Amino acid sequence: MSARSAQTGAVQDDGEEHSEAVQDGTVNEPRRRQRSNASVSDGGVDGSADEQANAVRGSLNQYEVAVLYHPDLEIDLEKASKKVETIITESGGKITKTDNWGKRKLAYPINKQEFAVYVFYTVELPADAPAKIDQAFNITDEIIRFMVTRPDLKAAAKAQALKAEKAKKAAERAEPQESDEESEQAADSTQ
C-alpha cells in the first residue's frame, strides 16, 4: 500500500467517523453543553419562533404621519380624519398627538388642486405597520398626499436642550437689566 492510499484511507476513516457521529447526534454535543450552560436572561422571550416574532413586532416605534386632505373636505374633515385614524389603529398603531394646520397653499398643484388641508399625526406603530398604512392610504380618495417618517429623536432632544439653554441665557441677561433700571430709579429718587 502506498503512502497516498494510506492518506486517503485515513481521510475516509475520519469521514466515516464523522458521519457516524452525525447519525448518533454526538457531533453537536459540545454546542448543546454550551447552550445548556448559558444563562437565560430574565427579559428574554421564550417560546416558538412565532411567539418571538410577535414579541418583536409588539414593540412600538414612534412615527410622524403627514396627511394632505382634499381641500373640499375642510368643512367636513371629521369623517375623513376618522377614516385615517381607523386605518392607523387597525394596523396596530396608537395616535399620541394630532396637529391640524388647516387649509394651506401647495408648493405645486397636485391633481389640479392648489390647496390642501394639512394634518400631522404623531403615532406609535409596530415595525410592519407603515407598509400596511401606505397601502391603505394609496387607495383612500380623501387623501391627496401622505408621508410616514420616523423622527430623529436625538436631533429633537438636542434642539430642545439648545432651546432651554438659550432661554436660560436670555433670562440671565434680562435680570441684570432689571437691576440696572431699579438702581437708576433709586438714584433718580434720591436727587
Cell numbers given for 128: 410592519
* 8 Å CB contact between 144 and 69: yes
Could you list the pLDDT tens digit for every one of the 191 residues in the chain? Answer: 555 555 555 555 555 555 555 556 555 555 555 555 544 444 455 555 555 555 555 578 899 999 999 998 888 899 999 999 999 999 999 999 999 999 999 999 999 999 999 999 999 999 889 999 999 999 988 999 999 999 888 888 899 999 999 999 998 888 765 555 555 565 555 55
* All domains of the chain in start order, with CATH: 57-153 (3.30.70.60)
φ, ψ dihedrals at 75, nearest 5°: -75, -45
pTM: 0.55
C-alpha cell at 161: 436642550
Q: Is 30 helix (H, G, I), strand (E, B) or coil?
A: helix
Q: Which residue do the cell numbers 403615532 mark? A: 123
